[in-house]
Amino acid sequence: MAYDRENIFAKILRGEIPCNKVYEDDHALAFHDINPQSPTHVLVIPKGAYVSNDDFTAKASDAELTGFFRAVGHVARALGVAEPGYRMIANTGVHGGQEVPHFHVHICAGRVLGGMIRPAG
Ligand code: 5GP
């Protein structure tokens, strides 16, 4: 799948759409999800144009990969959710339920999140 430069997260990265920013560095931007599914629900996205985790892990440089995943851990610690814990979610593709075609990791936390996968529908 080709990267769509008009996807909503690309627009957020370009500053065309506002976001509630949590953290930013050379490799990542983190901001609150507009429709939170848990008391803390933050999205972390790489700055590069990658459609999904599949695309990112196949094409990104080692520096981008390292920088991004370090940023995810940093954001979780900065949010104060490393203890008692959180869930990282990277919905990937159609079966993964990915809606926005720019790779992103959800950090969901703030309550016991329960079972790993809920029924579709
Ligand atoms: P996905 O289903 O692709 O893994 O998750 C996309 C997420 O992006 C959803 O949780 C949705 O609420 C969030 N989202 C969609 N549009 C916007 C937006 O314009 N701003 C923010 N902050 N989050 C968005």
- Domains of the chain with CATH codes: 8-109 (3.30.428.10)
Q: Mean pLDDT for each 10-residue chunk of the chain (121 residues)?
A: 96 98 98 98 98 98 98 98 97 96 98 84 64
Quote the tokens at residue 92. 């990937």
Q: Ligand 1: distance of its center to the CA of 79 in Å?
A: 19
Backbone phi, psi, residue 75, to 5° = -60, -45
Residue nearest to atom 5 of ligand 1 (CA): 99
| Three-class DSSP category at 99 | coil
pLDDT given for residue 116 in this prediction = 82
Q: Ligand 1: distance of its center to the CA of 77 in Å?
A: 22
Active site residue 104: yes
Alpha-carbon distance 32 to 107, whole Å? 9
Residue nearest to atom 21 of ligand 1 (CA): 34
